[in-house]
Amino acid sequence: MLFDFQPLANFRLARASHKQPNKDGSICVNEAAVIAAGFEYRAVRDVSCLPDCFSRPVSDYAIYLNDLMLHKVRNELLMPFVIRLPGTSDSPWIEAKRAEFIVVETARRIVAAEYDEIWHKPAVATKCRAVRSLQQVSSVMAKAKAVLPAECAREMLLAGRRCLSRDLRIGAHCAAAAKAAARSEQAGSGRGPKNLANGYQHP
Amino acid sequence: MAINILEEAILLGRHDGIDDFTAAAERLERAKASSVFVVVSG
């Protein structure tokens, strides 16, 4: 991104919703985005609290990434989205497509990486990477769970089912899958989360 | 990966964002300042 984020260097993003920012900032990414866009401050407990110009599936995902992300990387990775989230609302068709994209790509990238790199199940990982639709997410995650019941697959099974039922609140499950993958990597390597949910980090 | 997915999901549709980055930063600073005022006067 081309912006200089230095003016926001003293503003800290924090987990969960807040009644008001404290002197350090300490509000979540969506609350900061609400202020940055010029709206009156409000505590954002879920996407229903956001102005209409915020994409629901994108903001829902951002809320849970914000809450589940390690404190030491939250500011670095999510601060750019303070100015990216406002003005993202689009037609119902596009919003459904965004929700499906988040679910499918979480299965293809994050779940596949966990089964491959952590659990050494390359056949399962290959199937995850081949997923192209919500229907395939459900069937592949169910099969992955049967081979090895990883938490990320369980979360993505729930995300897929929710999205198939046209409920676009997929953020909790997708972010939980990323968090679970990071936790597995941390436990498996002893190096701390790096690539998976650190999935939270850029590749 | 998760951050990339978030960014790519935004790019699938409208993504006007905030043009005036300086104004956005000022609004955030004002919000912090007003919260200090609430603490001091409360």
Q: Taking CB atoms and an 8 Å limit, are B35 and A23 in contact across chains? A: yes
- What would the pLDDT profile of B4-41 be if each residue is shown by its tens digit? 999 999 999 999 988 888 888 888 888 777 664 444 43
Residues A193, A71: Cα–Cα separation, whole Å? 12
Q: Taking CB atoms and an 8 Å limit, are B24 and A36 in contact across chains? A: yes
- Minimal Cα distance from A39: which residue of B? B27
Residues A134, A144: Cα–Cα separation, whole Å? 15
- Which residues from chain B sit within 8 angstroms of residue A128, using beta carbons? none
Question: Residues in chain A with pLDDT < 70?
Answer: 1-10, 18-25, 189-203
pTM above threshold 0.90: no
- Torsion, Cα A200 A201 B2 B3, to 10 degrees, reads 110
Name the residue with tokens 């979540």.
Answer: A28
pLDDT at B19: 82
Please name the member of B7, B13, B27 whose beta carbon is closest to the beta carbon of A38: B27
Strand, coil or helix: A26? strand
pLDDT at A6: 57
Residues comprising chain B, all counted? 42
Please name the member of B3, B21, B27 whose beta carbon is closest to the beta carbon of A35: B27
| Parallel/antiparallel/unpaired status of strands A12-13 and A25-27 | parallel
Residues A137, A119: Cα–Cα separation, whole Å? 19
Q: Taking CB atoms and an 8 Å limit, are A101 and B6 in contact across chains? A: no
**A60 HSE (CA, 13 A, CB side):** 23
Q: Position A104: which residue type?
A: V
Helices A134-147, A92-105: axis angle to 10 degrees equals 20
Estimate to the nearest angstrom the gap between the alpha carbon of A85 and the chain centroid: 13
Element (H, E) at A197: strand A197-200
What ipTM does the predicted assembly reach? 0.87
- What would the pLDDT profile of A123-157 be if each residue is shown by its tens digit? 999 999 999 999 999 999 999 999 999 999 999 99
- Which residues from chain B sit within 8 angstroms of residue A37, using beta carbons? 18, 24
Q: Taking CB atoms and an 8 Å limit, are A201 and B14 in contact across chains? A: no
Please name the member of B1, B8, B25 whose beta carbon is closest to the beta carbon of A7: B25
Interface probe with B: pick from A98, A131, A156, A163, most Cβ of B within 10 Å: A98
Q: Taking CB atoms and an 8 Å limit, are B17 and A84 in contact across chains? A: yes
The C-alpha angle A77, A153, A182, rounded to 5 degrees, equals: 35
Residue B3 forms contact with A (CB below 8 Å): yes
Strand, coil or helix: A198? strand
Q: Taking CB atoms and an 8 Å limit, are B14 and A4 in contact across chains? A: no
